[in-house]
Structure 1
Amino acid sequence: MNDHAKAELAQKGFTIVPNVFSTSQLNELAKTIDALSMHSPNIRQSMDVFAIRNLLQEVPSLPQLLWQGSFNILLDKLIGYYYHAVKGIYFNKPAGSNWIVPWHQDLQISVDRQENVYGWTNWTNRHGQWSVQPSAYYLNQIYTVRIHLDDCDETNGALKVLVGSHKQGILADPDIQALDKTKAVICNVPKGGLLVMRPLLVHASAKSTSSANRRVIHLELTQSHLPKGLQWREFSHRWTKMDATNNHLS
């Protein structure tokens, strides 16, 4: 299964892996996130969406709950052992949400400061937090992992993707809109499963037409480090049993 997922990820730009997290693990993840104070500026709440940005910083105990068992084994196979998490977002598309995400690529990364780096554009600073569009080289080193806490299909806003579009590099918006959307694939992911994808894969999601929530933990993982001493704004090493042992001893 892992070999198939790795090949599919390289060729299609995404792969779906079911049954990675058990119901008890998902309940513990949801309980930990729900315990977070709602007063953080990183939390956005409306009729259509509930989102927590900088999730790895807002919930520092999360890596300990995530990086274990089947999740570790799968990611070691897909990415390689020496990876780290550089972004975490939690979001829920509530029942009946009319929130629509248009066709796009994920082009922004979060860093600690601004630097003059060749090929890096669209620097933005919101609430003192820097984001930038790096060159395609760095985007191609990132893996997006979406952990589904609920069953997800086209009725509650499953992602739609254009297979293989990650191979075309960074696309201007008119080029994205010109792509043939009739060949889009809907990523139905069962509860406890993963959608692993490349950021340059063109994707979108429709509004929810069901009464079901769509809770997702969105992680971005990479083995790469940034140029000119830049640091990822969020950073978490792969959690291991050795980490747990060291923390206990300290």
Structure 2
Amino acid sequence: MSMEAQTLRPPSRLLLLLEGRALQELGAFYATLPLLNLTATGDGHPVLVLPGLVTSDVSTKPLRSFLEGRGYAVSGWGLGRNYGLREGVQDGMLDLVRKITDEQGRKLSIVGWSLGGLYARQLAKLLPDHVRSVITLGSPFAANPKATNAWRVYEFVSGERADDAHTQSGFGGALSETPPVPTTAIFSRTDGVCAWQGCMEKPGSHSENIEVYGSHCGLGHHPAVVYAVADRLAQPEGAWQPFDRSGWRSLVFPNPNR
């Protein structure tokens, strides 16, 4: 981890207070569904959606329902609330990935929100032959574990130190290492929970960043995020291209490298 990543601080209290925007973003999601339903139809490949810290599959229901409507075989993680890598969680996710790909006969894409995105990256490193692509939503894989406003909650519910979460030597290695599959990191500079700099991927031949304007708690249903997720999943397997933010998209998706 770089010195800059180690010294990142959590978002300000003002940004944390502004996380109430998530409710407005949920309303915007339902209001824009007619437009979102104009996005490309999927090819039917399986998609696994992983929830964030202390949340469950209930939190990802809007996104999963939308993706099902676009033609994907969508699954929640089915492991209750996400309280960290407690006993059985790691094996449960690995078994689920194998089960889905065996049943579908195809690789799956994994979309992970916040802590769920950390899991998504590690699963792709451990099971690259099973994973088609990874999309993370506000996941702090490249920062000091305490560069979030949720690290105390993580320690309380998981029973482990936040600093230990970024070693993960037994679960795919270093979190900041890019998975060996097409990887997209979606983030917001006004994230009130995680330092946005720590949610950014190293751009490469099969990795990218997409920036949106929004909260952390609304990333799973923010209309711009939903559009970007649908766009990324619709790409043909083996023909990955970076996200196109030309035209009207430049108004919705700012340049992440500015």
- Normalised-by-shorter TM-score class: under 0.3
Structure with the bigger percentage of strand? 1
Structure with the bigger percentage of helix? 2
| Bigger RCO of structures 1 and 2 (CA < 8 A, at least 6 apart) | 1
